[in-house]
Amino acid sequence: MKTILPWFFVFVLFSCNRQAKKKDHQIIEIKKTSTTITIDGKAVENTWNMAKWYMLDQNWLGDPYTYEDFNGRYKLSWDDEALYILVEITDDILYDQNKDPLKLWWNDDCIEVFVDEDNSGGLHQYSHNAFAYHIALNGNVVDLATNKEPKLYNDHIISAKVTEENITTWEIAVKLYNDQYIDSKQNTATTLSADKKIGFALAYCDNDGSTERENFIGSVFVPGEDKNQGWINADIFGTLVLKE
């Protein structure tokens, strides 16, 4: 015999299974670019001249480091097609030990871009509720797919970098995809518009020649002792607000 649950019990079950809403923090309003940004690592566009610098200075993993060893900062912009990131990294050694892009990619020097298209927060380790893109020195882009295996997402991100002495300038264009993304199918990127909120964090894996990365430096403060949570939990991401 089929049992009909009382309406209030169904409501309680539904409420418990709903994802708690992310609390917005480190809110950054970013302006839409009025000119085309060429991804070449040169940052000559007036968009970058007008944008504000934000610091990449939260040591998520590793011992304290010196300013000479590493420091980083970034700027942001957007248009209908992409989120744009300008990153300036001061690093005395750029190290790439793993030639296979799908092997231990987090232990090489790389930029990591965390994006949550609808700013919903929540877990995303093996889902596309959010993405944690690792951008290697050679431009390969890696994240975990829903089958729990690493995958190249080179069509999601265009990047270019220029290194002069110990300063590397990266320009990055990121297409955003929502949580309906399916790895085995063709997917359409989100068209961005004013007042949209996006979950966002930025980080850098720094390795000066060790078998494992020596530091993991992020853009947002993460409370508690375990600060390496971005690849699992989008609640720690800051919030971008797109403005005209």
Per-residue pLDDT reduced to its tens digit, 131-152: 999 999 999 999 999 999 999 9
Cβ atoms of 113 and 135 closer than 8 Å: yes
Per-residue pLDDT reduced to its tens digit, 80-112: 999 999 999 999 899 999 889 999 999 999 999
Cβ atoms of 111 and 202 closer than 8 Å: yes
Segment 52-80 shows an average pLDDT of: 96
37 pLDDT tier (thresholds 50, 70, 90): very high
For 44, phi then psi, to 5°, come to -95, -10
pLDDT of residue 236: 98
Cβ atoms of 94 and 168 closer than 8 Å: yes
CA dist 146 → 114, 127, 131, 151, 181 (Å): 16, 5, 11, 10, 10
pLDDT of residue 19: 53
What is the domain partition of the chain in residue ranges?
24-243
Arithmetic mean of pLDDT over the chain: 92
Which tokens sit at 203? 């980080």
For residue 80, what is the enclosing H or E element? none
202 pLDDT tier (thresholds 50, 70, 90): very high
Instruction: Give me the count of residues in the chain.
Output: 244
The CA distance from 63 to 5, in Å, is 54
Its CATH class, for the domain covering 24-243, is: mainly beta
3 pLDDT tier (thresholds 50, 70, 90): very low
Per-residue pLDDT reduced to its tens digit, 6-22: 433 333 333 343 456 89
pTM for the whole thing?
0.91
Of 96, 24, 83, 89, nearest to 57 (Cα)?
89
Which tokens sit at 47? 């968009």
